[in-house]
Amino acid sequence: MPDVPAVVARPAYDRATIRPGIVHLGIGAFHRAHQAVVIDDRLAAGEVGWGIVGASLRAPDTYDALTPQGGLYTLAVRSAGPTRHRIIGSVSEVLVAPETPLKLLERLADPAIRIVSLTVTEKGYCHDPATGALAEDHPDIRHDLTSNLPRSAVGIIVEVLARRRAAGVAPFTVLSCDNLPANGETVKRVLARFAALRNADLGRWVGDNLACPSTMVDRIVPATTDADREEIARALGVEDAWPVVAEPFWQWVVEDHFPSGRPDLAASGVEMVGDVAPYELMKLRLLNGSHSTLAYLGYLCGYETVADAIADTGIAGTVRRLVGDATPTLRALTGFDVEAYKASLIQRFANPALRHRTWQIAMDGSQKLPQRLVATVRERLGKGMAAGAPALGIAAWMRYVTGIDEKGAAIDVRDPMAGRLADIAREAGPVAERLAPALLSLSEVFGELAADPRLVRPVTAALASLYAVGAKETARRFQAGELAL
C-alpha cells in the first residue's frame, strides 16, 4: 500500500485474505465508483469471500492501468466542499475478455463465483431497445451463436451457464446494474432466448433456474480526465493511473432474490426490496430523462458540462418542467421521499466540482431515449395528457444527431445507429416537417408511437423551433410557457 496522507481512507482489511465471489463484466468508472465501493465496505466488515474479478469486454485500458497497482484505485468524491479521497481495494483482478477469453470463462465457471454483475451500457445487452427482445441479427449475437469463444456479455454468460450446468455446478445470480427498465427481466429475457437458440433444453433451463434480480443504480460518475489524474496525484502524493471521480450521492436498490447467496448489502446502505420497478421508473424518467435533455439542449447551446447547462435559466426551467411532466407517470413508493429526490436533482446537476460533459451523456441516444423520454410520453398519452417536455428532449436529440451544430461545426455523434441516423438526416435535410417524422419512424426507438400525431406534432414543433431560433431561445420559450408541446 503506497504511503498516502492519513486523511485518505484505505481498505480496512488485509487484501491477501480476499477470495473472489463476484465477476463483474464491464469494469468502467461507474462500477468502480458504485458497486465496488459497497463491496469494499463488506470486505472491511469481514465478508472476505466477495472480492471482485473485473472484466473489460473490449479495451485493455483498465487492465493496463489497474494491474500494476494490484487492482487498487482512488475514488475522489467531489462537491462544493473539499474533495474526499478513498482507496478502494475490492477489485482483486482485472481481465480483458478479447485477450484472455479462456481465463475469463474459467473464472466464471469457478463454483466460488456466486454473482455475475454487469455494467455493459444499454447497447451491451444486444437487444431491441423498444421491445427488450434479443436482437437476433446483432453481429455479436450471430458470432456468439457459432463460436465457443463468445464476445458479448450475453454469449459469455450463456456459455458459462452451460458449462456449469454440465459440471453440476449451481448457476450464479446475474445482476444487471445498467440503466434499463426492468434490467433483471431484460437480461434474463435475452439470456434465455440466446440459450434457446443454442439449444432448446438449455433455454428452458435458463428460464427455470437463473436468478436475475432487478436493480436501480444511481451515482453521477463522469469519465476521468487527465486533469483529474493530476489533481488526485497532487493530493495523494502518488500517481494513480486510473482514479474515478463521483458526486457524494449514491443509491442502490436491489430486488432481494439471490438463491446462490450474497453479501449483506443492506448493512452498507443498499436498499433490498421486493419490487424495484417504482425506483427504476423514478430514476430513469427523472434523473436520466433530465440528463439526456440537458445533454442535447446543452450541447447545442455550446455548454461543455451539465453544470454549465443547468446554470442557463431556460434549460433549468425546462428540466423542472420535465420532472413535473414525468411525475404523473411514476408509481407510488412507500418509505421513500420522491419529492426530496426531485428537489435534490437540480443541485446534483449543478455540482460545480464535477465536470460532466454534455457530449458524454449524449452518447448512445438511440438506446437511452426509449426508457428516459419515450416511455414517459407513452404513459402521458395513455392518461390523456399531452406529450409535454419529453417532446423537446426528443427534438433536441434529433437536432443533435444531424451531426451539425448551430454554428455549422461537425458533432461527433457516437451511437450504434449513427450510420442510419446520419443517412436519415441527410435525406430529410434541415427541415423539421421532414426530419421529425423520418426519425420517429425508427421503431427500435419509438415503437408503436412512430406515426402517432400526438407525438409527431409536438416533436415537429419543437424541432422547428430549434431550427428557427436555436436551443437556448427554444428552452427559454418552453419554460416561459411560450411554446406548447
Binding site for ligand CS2 (CB under 6 A): 179, 218-220, 287-288, 291, 360-361, 368
CB of 365 to ligand CS2, least distance (A): 9
CB of 368 to ligand CS2, least distance (A): 6
CB of 361 to ligand CS2, least distance (A): 4
If the CB atoms of residues 341 and 446 are measured against ligand CS2, the closer one turns out to be 341
Q: Which three cell numbers stand for residue 111?
A: 463454483
Kindly tell me the sign of the dihedral angle through the C-alpha atoms of 290, 308, 216, 368. Answer: positive
CB of 9 to ligand CS2, least distance (A): 22
**Residue 307 to residue 36: CA distance in whole angstroms:** 26
E-assigned strand segments in 173-332: 173-176, 215-218, 244-246, 251-255, 271-273
**Residue 9 to residue 354: CA distance in whole angstroms:** 21
If the CB atoms of residues 92 and 293 are measured against ligand CS2, the closer one turns out to be 293
Closest alpha carbon to 254 in 287, 280, 285, 283: 280
If the CB atoms of residues 321 and 368 are measured against ligand CS2, the closer one turns out to be 368
If the CB atoms of residues 346 and 381 are measured against ligand CS2, the closer one turns out to be 346
Residue 60 has, within 13 A of its CA and on its CB side, a CA count of: 7
Q: What sections of 45-182 are H helices per DSSP?
A: 61-66, 101-109, 139-145, 153-166
Q: In what order do the strands lie in the sheet with 73-77?
A: 84-88, 73-77, 244-246
What residues contact residue 340 under an 8 Å CB cut-off, 6+ apart? none
CB of 415 to ligand CS2, least distance (A): 12
CA 356 from chain centre, in angstroms, equals: 14
If the CB atoms of residues 361 and 432 are measured against ligand CS2, the closer one turns out to be 361
CB of 288 to ligand CS2, least distance (A): 5
If the CB atoms of residues 48 and 223 are measured against ligand CS2, the closer one turns out to be 223
Number of residue whose CB is nearest ligand CS2:
291
CB 38 within 8 A of CB 265: yes
If the CB atoms of residues 205 and 397 are measured against ligand CS2, the closer one turns out to be 397
CB of 220 to ligand CS2, least distance (A): 4
